[in-house]
């Protein structure tokens, strides 16, 4: 009887050790895999791509959009549709797989924007999507001219004098309104 109990105890110990090894290996593999660590990370990543797509579309001048030829206009329309779809998907997404679909839709829209900008003869910007590992590179030097505006600084007490007394709401008027509303 004692021998059978010892055999059972050894068997249980071996199974526990094997289970622990399997758990450690599985955990290391999941840590090594790239991707969001949680649902919040997946949501933030998907949101970042949707915002990037929206910014890419907003960066195209309206006059350039109006004068867009067939392929550029089609690409801009597709990119706008991808933005709408990605935003709708983002509002409904709850799982990492759904957030990954949002990211794929937004990246597809970014590719459409890239094609439209190329067709319009504009700087296409950096190419790459989620997980491509491609970042924009600076080649050579660039300069930009910015129109200069002149700003006048005034002390705060002078600014408040600009507002005429008749434009300021009186305290008695607001009190009388609240008393009338209460009655």
User: Terminus-to-terminus CA distance in the chain, angstroms?
Assistant: 93
> What share of the chain has pLDDT > 70, as a percent?
58
Position 59 in a domain:
yes
Query: Is 133 part of any domain?
Result: no
- Does 54 fall in a domain? yes
Range of the domain at 109: 38-119
Q: What is the pLDDT of residues 157-166, one digit of tens each?
A: 444 444 444 4
Number of structural domains in the chain: 1
Residue 24 falls within a domain, yes or no? Answer: no
Cα distances from 11 to residues 4, 25, 95, 111, in angstroms, run 10, 21, 40, 58
Q: How high is the pLDDT of residue 100?
A: 93
**Residue 128 resides in a domain:** no
47 domain-assigned: yes
21 pLDDT higher than 80: yes
On whether the CB atoms of residues 131 and 118 are closer than 8 A, the answer is no
> pLDDT digit string (tens) for 85-113?
999 999 999 999 999 999 999 999 999 99
Q: Is residue 87 part of a domain?
A: yes
- pLDDT number for residue 25: 85
Residue 107 domain flag: yes
If you average pLDDT over residues 116-124, what whole number do you get?
Answer: 81
């Amino acid at each position: 009887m004692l021998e059978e109990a010892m055999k059972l105890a050894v068997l249980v110990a071996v199974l526990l050790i094997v289970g622990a090894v399997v758990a450690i290996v599985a955990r290391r593999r999941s840590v090594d895999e790239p991707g969001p660590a949680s649902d919040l990370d997946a949501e933030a990543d998907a949101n970042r791509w949707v915002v990037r797509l929206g910014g890419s579309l907003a960066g195209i001048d309206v006059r350039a959009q109006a004068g867009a030829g067939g392929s550029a206009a089609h690409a801009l329309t597709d990119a706008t549709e991808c933005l709408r779809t990605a935003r709708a998907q983002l509002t409904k997404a709850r799982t990492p797989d759904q957030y990954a679909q949002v990211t794929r839709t937004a990246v597809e829209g970014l590719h459409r924007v890239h094609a439209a900008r190329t067709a319009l003869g504009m700087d296409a910007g950096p190419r790459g999507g989620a997980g491509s590992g491609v970042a924009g590179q600076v080649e050579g030097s660039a300069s930009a001219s910015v129109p200069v505006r002149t700003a006048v600084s005034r002390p705060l007490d002078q600014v408040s004098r600009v507002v005429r007394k008749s434009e300021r709401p009186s305290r008695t008027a607001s009190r009388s309104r609240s008393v009338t509303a209460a009655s």
